[in-house]
Amino acid sequence: MQIYRESCKVSPTMTDTPDGCFISVYAGERTKKGVADVTAKIVKAFPGWSSDQTEILKDRFAENGFTDRRMMDAVNFVIDNYEGYGKIPNIANFIKYDKTALTYAQICTAHDKGELVFADYEPIDLGHDNPRFARREDVEKFNLKKWGTR
């Protein structure tokens, strides 16, 4: 899960991006066992997945800083949500797995465009003067600090 911020100082858990900075709530590391577990799961779920694709995906997981938990969450997300029946997902389907926290302005804009429902989001505290908003299930799953619990 990546949580975007308007400005930040870079630390081991923060990374500069062209759009600002993000903090990853995934802690831990990427292990050989973790990589083996997720690649085995992909091959089971998508029998046409090739060993070449596996090697590229492992490289992309490493390059994008995926931990064991983030890899497994990404794989489970693709398995649960992939709509290409009879087709094989591409590497981007796994790498683009991400969660974000929105500002109030961003959540209003997305709501006005019909992209989300306010009731699905909850205010969280990322140390700003104003709350950010994350999906309710992400707040629970990642034990994010709720706004107003300082």
Percent of the chain with pLDDT over 90: 41
* All structural domains of the chain with their residue ranges: 32-95, 101-150
Q: What is the pLDDT of residues 25-34, one digit of tens each?
A: 677 899 999 9
Band of pLDDT at residue 24, cut at 50, 70 and 90: low
How distant, in Å, are the alpha carbons of 83, 89, 107, 115 from that of 75?
14, 11, 27, 24
Read off the amino acid at residue 1.
Answer: M
**Residue 71 pLDDT more than 90?**
yes
Beta bridge partners of 20: 17
Model pLDDT, residue 138: 81
- What pTM, to 2 d.p., does this model score? 0.62
Q: What is the pLDDT of residues 53-70, one digit of tens each?
A: 999 999 999 998 889 998
Alpha-carbon dihedral sign for residues 58, 60, 65, 68: negative
Q: Distance between CA 110 and CA 87 in Å, rounded?
A: 30
Read off the amino acid at residue 13.
Answer: T
